[in-house]
């Protein structure tokens, strides 16, 4: 690793400058005051991120609830817990290892919390948060001993704000114990093997003992293949790599620890892989050598499956990590030989361990499915060491800043287009992102991403202490002189011609629109007309205004950063930590509240505490945690509905959203006149609170109220048509997103297309809806699931008035004029026959729509 290697945190020119600069230019160690402030900030953020929100959301049913119930049984039978932990009509016996489907240590940790503090979600999460804290401390200890305290603090900050880590630290899923155990093992064995500055062999022996404790804890959580092989091989292979590349130092203790780690890792890997092959033949048997039940996914994962979910589960740190890894491939900047050797060992350890973990998790995925990545601490340490290197001597790099910005925007687009990526940090198969959080979650991520990109770019734009001039009038005016003289004045001439053409084009467009109505101009779309009217202004702004504004913004950034008492690296890592804090205190707590039944039970406590309650599709254990008692639990909607409607008293059901359509249909069939089922709490789109009646002053929050109407509608465009002798088409209309009816639309703006039906006979088939807006050789094709696919047509009852609402936006190339509207129902290539009304190929001719 020579200085000729590629510089990961700088562009080529900056790398050449760094080579020419003497190593003595390395930044001085931070003052004791700044060091204490950094450590205090790290401690506050770590404690807040790991412990702050542990009671903010309820248990996720079933992933968390299943683990909590098994831990409750352990606390009751093995830890001498009180009889209040025994639930009526529930299994209260000691769980078997097969039921646990992993090591017992995570369950015992949760059980200890229940034993000490009772059956509360925070009581079960507290021990896991403590495990998370221990993992952060181990990471800090490893990096601070082999690098320095600032790098250790940076690494701890990164780990505490990585979603994959803090989510598991404060949810009862259990894998935080695995992550912390691997960090503990790597810390103890790594310091024992590579910290040769510690002269006392007794202390190194204690570190080695700590490493063995970490290996034992790892085996007790995820077995040999993950809990032992990953940290032991990480240390052993790192030691072997350094031993082969660096002359022998005669450190017998390092040889003992490194060699023993390598042998333990190889043995654990061999035993684990052998057990994995054997277990694949007998999937019903659980093996601690494997550490996970054999559960091959339906679709075999690709080699990059682990990297794929890490990208979203570690965001925003995943936008920085590729460049941080590149930085660690460069030789350390230390001049002291011993410090250089420790830094080199740390880099090799982190890269080898994270790569080993990636390989083992990727190989196991084909047999056991996707598991939460346990080597998170190594990735956090890579980021921390890289930022520390940048703080000391790395030059600024616009290339790196743009690369991080590109990755951040790419990940944000994934979150926006595929909201389920927001659940990647949980690593729970089959989880569904709540619809009720999509808009708010996307907005939160958008603001945080933009702020992060801006701050990070400013921090990495230039190097500390370069003394660049600020607010130079000559520089601003020099820009205008440059574009006038560039290419012998040809660029300036081209810009003048383009500006004159845009002015003329805009003037002709204005005259046509206001007076002459020339056909060539009237056929333009609205967006093109508006662009023609303001294009000449846009060119002036782009050429004459925007570049000087960018230079002024650059100078403001220089001024602010020069006035700050911290270096640019601190601003850079601060931007990532701040984004991680938004995820920790904002995004994930709000998401967890949507997927937990806690809010629903709180609503029940306020509205019907003393009235009868039942569960439909929700784990019975939820009631034990939140209602304080066992309640009837139903597995199908008809049985639950009959219970709901029994007697004259008011009753309640906590139900999953997937069962609401059937309940609503049955309620409409029973009530006179037909009305929708009362929903008293719909804050979550996944779990709802319903009742058989509304009390005075209460208002239903049934999400189907906008679709299934209690009264006949009066659409703006009434029709008398029929589809298949099953549905009468009452008419249609176009509205704004807030429901205001409009008689014309503007391309590029969002609208809602509403089709009104009356059910004549029971409907056979699951028909989808198509909408065609045709004219001027253009077509808008609005194929979509009827009622968003959430209320199947076979549940529509005779006499129901139904509104299908489709959100649409016409493309900018739709020119002004009258367009024909057609719509209908289809399955595959077959359309439902139009029995009454004008039609074309079973497309109902619904009328005209004006486009402005």
Q: For residue 739, what are its two tokens? A: 């429901």
Task: Using pLDDT thresholds of 50, 70 and 90, give the confidence band for residue 566.
Answer: confident
Q: Is the pLDDT of residue 267 over 90?
A: yes
pTM of the model: 0.85
- Mark 94-107 as b/e (b = at least 16 C-beta within 10 Å): ebeeeebbbbbbbb
Q: Is the pLDDT of residue 623 over 50?
A: yes
Give the residue with greater pLDDT, 788 vs 596.
Answer: 788
DSSP per residue, 789-805: GSS-GGGPPTT-EEEEE
Angle of helix 376-392 relative to helix 121-146, nearest 10 degrees? 40
The pLDDT, as a whole number, for residue 256 is 93
pLDDT in tens, 231-259: 999 999 999 999 888 766 668 899 999 99
The pLDDT, as a whole number, for residue 753 is 98
Greatest mean pLDDT among 3-7, 527-531, 736-740 = 736-740
Q: What mean pLDDT comes out for the span 142-148?
A: 96
Task: Using pLDDT thresholds of 50, 70 and 90, give the confidence band for residue 823.
Answer: very high
Q: What mean pLDDT comes out for the span 588-610?
A: 88
pLDDT in tens, 695-706: 999 999 999 999
Alpha-carbon distance of 663 to 505, in angstroms, equals 61
DSSP per residue, 660-700: HHHHHHHHHHHSSS--PPPEEE-SSSSEEEEESSPPTT---
Task: Using pLDDT thresholds of 50, 70 and 90, give the confidence band for residue 5.
Answer: very low
CA atoms within 13 A on the CB side of 283: 8
CB 5 within 8 A of CB 329: yes
pLDDT in tens, 308-363: 999 999 999 999 999 999 999 988 877 788 889 999 999 999 999 999 999 999 99
pLDDT in tens, 706-725: 999 999 999 999 999 999 99
pLDDT in tens, 447-465: 999 999 999 998 888 776 6
pLDDT in tens, 752-772: 999 999 999 999 889 999 999
The pLDDT, as a whole number, for residue 777 is 85
Cis check for the bond before 381: say yes or no (omega within 30 of 0).
no
Q: Is the pLDDT of residue 67 over 70?
A: yes
CA distances from 442 to 56, 213, 426, 616, 806 (A): 21, 42, 18, 30, 21
Pick from 441, 251, 430: nearest CA to 345: 251
Q: Is the pLDDT of residue 625 over 90?
A: no
Pick from 365, 359, 352: nearest CA to 262: 352
Q: Is the pLDDT of residue 787 over 60?
A: yes
Q: Is the pLDDT of residue 740 over 60?
A: yes
Kind of pairing between the strands at 687-691 and 834-836 = unpaired
Q: Which residues contact 285 (CB under 8 A, 6 or more apart)?
A: 98, 279
Q: Which residues contact 665 (CB under 8 A, 6 or more apart)?
A: 795, 796, 797
Helical ranges in 54-148 per DSSP H: 63-77, 97-100, 105-117, 121-146
The pLDDT, as a whole number, for residue 480 is 81
Q: Which long-range contacts (CB under 8 A, 24 or more apart) does 97-103 make?
A: 97/286, 97/288, 98/285, 98/286, 99/70, 100/70, 101/286, 101/292, 101/293, 102/174, 102/221, 102/222, 102/223, 102/291, 102/292, 102/293, 103/219, 103/220, 103/221, 103/222, 103/223, 103/227, 103/288, 103/291
Q: For residue 747, what are its two tokens? A: 């391309």
Angle of helix 105-117 relative to helix 175-194, nearest 10 degrees? 110
CB 436 within 8 A of CB 599: no
Length of the chain: 852
Q: What mean pLDDT comes out for the span 729-751?
A: 94
Q: Is the pLDDT of residue 126 over 90?
A: yes
Of 16-25, 439-448, 729-738, the one with minimum mean pLDDT is: 16-25
Pick from 830, 806, 689: nearest CA to 756: 806
pLDDT in tens, 645-655: 998 899 999 99
Distance of CA 278 to the CA centre of its chain: 36
Q: Is the pLDDT of residue 639 over 80?
A: yes
The pLDDT, as a whole number, for residue 465 is 61
Give the residue with greater pLDDT, 586 vs 88.
Answer: 586
CB 292 within 8 A of CB 371: yes
Alpha-carbon distance of 79 to 718, in angstroms, equals 70
Rounded to 5°, angle at Cα 77 from 71 and 81: 80
Give the residue with greater pLDDT, 626 vs 435.
Answer: 435
Alpha-carbon distance of 333 to 330, in angstroms, equals 9
Q: What mean pLDDT comes out for the span 716-736?
A: 96
């Amino acid at each position: 690793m020579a200085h000729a290697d590629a510089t990961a945190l700088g562009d080529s020119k900056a790398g050449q400058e760094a080579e020419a600069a003497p190593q003595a230019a390395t930044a001085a160690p931070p003052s004791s005051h700044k060091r204490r402030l950094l450590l205090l900030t790290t401690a506050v953020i770590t404690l807040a991120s790991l412990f702050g929100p542990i009671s903010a959301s309820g248990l996720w049913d079933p992933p968390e609830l299943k683990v909590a119930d098994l831990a409750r049984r352990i606390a009751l039978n093995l830890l001498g817990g009180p009889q209040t932990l025994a639930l009526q009509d529930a299994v209260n016996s000691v769980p078997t290892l097969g039921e646990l489907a992993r090591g017992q240590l995570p369950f015992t940790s949760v059980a200890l919390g229940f034993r000490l503090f009772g059956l509360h979600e925070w009581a079960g999460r507290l021990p896991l948060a403590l495990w998370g804290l221990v993992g952060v401390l181990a990471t800090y200890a490893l990096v601070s001993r082999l690098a320095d305290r600032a790098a250790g603090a940076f690494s701890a900050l990164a780990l505490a704000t990585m979603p994959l880590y803090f989510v598991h630290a404060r949810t009862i899923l259990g894998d935080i114990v695995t992550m912390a155990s691997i960090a503990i093992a790597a810390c103890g064995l790594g310091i024992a093997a590579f910290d040769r500055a510690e002269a006392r062999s007794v202390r190194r022996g204690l570190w080695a003992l700590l490493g063995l404790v970490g290996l034992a804890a790892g085996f007790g959580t995820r077995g040999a293949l993950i809990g032992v092989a990953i940290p032991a091989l990480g240390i052993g292979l790192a030691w072997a790599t350094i031993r082969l590349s660096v002359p022998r130092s005669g450190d017998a203790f390092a040889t003992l620890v490194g060699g023993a780690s390598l042998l333990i890792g190889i043995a654990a890997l061999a035993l684990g892989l052998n057990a994995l092959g054997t277990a694949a033949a007998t999937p019903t048997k659980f093996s601690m050598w494997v550490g996970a039940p054999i559960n091959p996914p339906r679709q075999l994962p690709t080699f990059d499956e682990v990297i794929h979910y890490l990208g979203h589960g570690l965001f925003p740190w995943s936008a920085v990590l590729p460049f941080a890894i590149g930085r660690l491939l460069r030789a350390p900047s230390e001049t002291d030989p011993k410090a250089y050797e420790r830094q080199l060992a740390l880099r090799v350890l982190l890269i080898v361990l994270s790569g080993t973990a990636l390989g083992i998790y990727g190989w196991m995925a084909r047999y056991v499915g996707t598991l939460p990545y346990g080597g998170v601490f190594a990735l956090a340490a890579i980021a921390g060491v890289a930022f520390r290197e940048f703080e000391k001597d790395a030059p600024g790099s616009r290339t790196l800043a743009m690369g991080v910005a590109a990755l951040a925007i790419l990940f944000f687009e994934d979150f926006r287009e595929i909201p389920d990526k927001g659940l990647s940090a949980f690593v729970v198969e089959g989880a569904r992102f709540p619809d009720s959080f999509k808009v708010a979650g996307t907005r939160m991520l958008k603001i945080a991403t933009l702020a992060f990109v801006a701050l990070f770019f400013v921090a990495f734009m230039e190097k500390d202490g370069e003394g660049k001039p600020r607010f130079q009038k000559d520089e601003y005016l020099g820009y205008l002189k440059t574009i006038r003289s560039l290419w012998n004045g040809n660029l300036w001439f081209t810009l003048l011609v383009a500006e004159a053409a845009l002015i003329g084009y805009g003037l002709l467009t204005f005259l046509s629109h206001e007076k002459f109505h020339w056909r060539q101009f009237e056929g333009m779309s609205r967006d093109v007309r508006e662009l023609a009217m303001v294009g000449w202004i846009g060119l002036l702004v782009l050429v004459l205004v925007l570049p000087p504004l960018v230079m002024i913004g650059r100078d403001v950034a220089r001024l602010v950063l020069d006035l700050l008492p911290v270096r640019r690296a601190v601003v850079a890592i601060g931007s990532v930590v701040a984004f991680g804090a938004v995820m920790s205190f904002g995004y994930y707590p709000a998401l967890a509240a949507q997927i937990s039944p806690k809010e629903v039970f709180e609503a029940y406590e306020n509205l019907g505490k003393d009235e009868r309650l039942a569960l439909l599709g929700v784990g019975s254990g939820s009631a034990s945690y939140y209602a304080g008692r066992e309640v009837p639990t139903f597995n199908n909607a008809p049985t639950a509905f009959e219970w709901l409607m029994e007697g004259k008293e008011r009753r309640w059901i906590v139900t999953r959203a997937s069962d609401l359509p059937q309940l609503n249909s049955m309620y409409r069939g029973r009530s006179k006149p037909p009305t929708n089922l009362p929903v008293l709490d719909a804050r979550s789109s996944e779990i709802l609170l319903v009742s058989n009646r509304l009390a005075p002053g209460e208002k239903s929050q049934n999400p189907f109220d906008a679709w299934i109407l209690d009264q006949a509608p009066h659409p703006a465009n009434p029709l008398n048509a029929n589809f298949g002798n099953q549905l009468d088409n009452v008419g249609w209309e176009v509205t704004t997103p807030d429901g205001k009816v409009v008689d014309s639309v503007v391309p590029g703006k969002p609208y809602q297309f509403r089709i009104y039906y009356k059910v004549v006979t029971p409907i056979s088939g699951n028909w989808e809806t198509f909408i065609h807006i045709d004219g001027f050789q253009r077509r808008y094709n609005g194929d979509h699931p009827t009622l968003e696919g959430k209320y199947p047509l076979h549940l529509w009852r005779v006499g129901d008035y139904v509104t299908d609402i489709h959100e649409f936006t016409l493309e900018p190339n739709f020119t002004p004029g009258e367009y024909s509207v057609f719509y209908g129902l289809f399955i595959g290539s077959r359309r439902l026959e139009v029995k009454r009304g004008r039609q074309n190929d079973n497309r109902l001719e619904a009328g005209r729509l004006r486009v402005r």
